[in-house]
Homo-oligomer: A and B are copies of this chain.
Amino acid sequence: MSIATKKGAECTVCPVRHKGFCGRLSDRVRQRVAGIARAKDYPVGHSFWTHENPLDFRGIVRNGYLRLQRYSMDGRRQIVSLVPSGEVVGEVEETHGDYELEAATGLGLCRLDRRELHRLMDEEGELRQVVRGQYVERLEAIRQLTWALCLLTPRERFCAFLIRATRVMPYHLLPDGKGVLTLELPRADIADFLGTSKESISRVSHQLASEGFIEILNPQHFLIPDLDALARQGAVTTSATRTHRALRSRGSGDPELTPCLTIGQTGHGGQVGAPMGS
């Protein structure tokens, strides 16, 4: 609600100073970008555009999440993209369809004038490269989402989501190697992102809890005893319910674990379940 308007030069205190988009810029270029930036806050649910009002500016997410979503004729929603802090919004979101861009949580943004940014991009090859990286990552994220939506069960998708969340959402590592994840998004958003229902999310959570993969401290806080074990639930179908066709010969690729869902920046190499606490 509060409209803080400070010159972008105050990157020094910015939480995403070394993350995502900004983190990949050299000091010189980042300062040039900062010169055209203005910080601004938005409340939950703030709508940035609908199909009749396209976004006329670019922004860097300082905190919170944006959701890019679209509805079906009968009112169901699909979130096609979740933009976490550190990412650029607007440049990559340019689209022709009937999408909405909303603040999924309270949101802090560094606004950039579209034209000024493009002028900077014309001048700075480095900036172009980093922006191009945003395209590549966003493409990768939605490709993974598409893959997961079609080939994974709701349970697997949710596990994959949790794994990814440990990189994007607050994840407090405890001294014993366990971790506490804060789910900053409501069940409805998670469900609509994973192409399932909030009832299923709830059921799967409690199923995972009963199996010891997570512990539900409260609806927003999950304790994860073993991240790797959880990760395996997200990529591998262990249950015998699914008939195993002959595995296609796929070279000598890792049969162990494959990358799953990406929210925001892709992992280094894409391997899910990289040891965060080991």
Contact = CB atoms under 8 A, between A and B. Distances in A.
Interface of A: 50-52, 68, 70-76, 78, 80-81, 92, 94-99, 122, 125, 128, 132, 135-136, 138-140, 142-147, 149-152, 195, 235-237, 242-248, 250-251, 253, 255, 258-259, 266, 269-270
Contacts of A235: 73
A71 B235 CA distance: 11
Copies in the complex: 2
Across the A-B interface, give the 7 residue pairs with the lowest CB-CB distance, nearest first.
A72-B151, A150-B195, A75-B245, A96-B270, A135-B135, A78-B150, A80-B143
Given A74-B244, A147-B80, A150-B195, A95 B136 contact: yes
> Taking chain A's interface residues, is the majority helix, strand, or loop, or is none over half, making it mixed?
loop
Nearest to A50: B251
B136 A139 contact: no
A269 B98 CA distance: 11
A71 B248 contact: yes
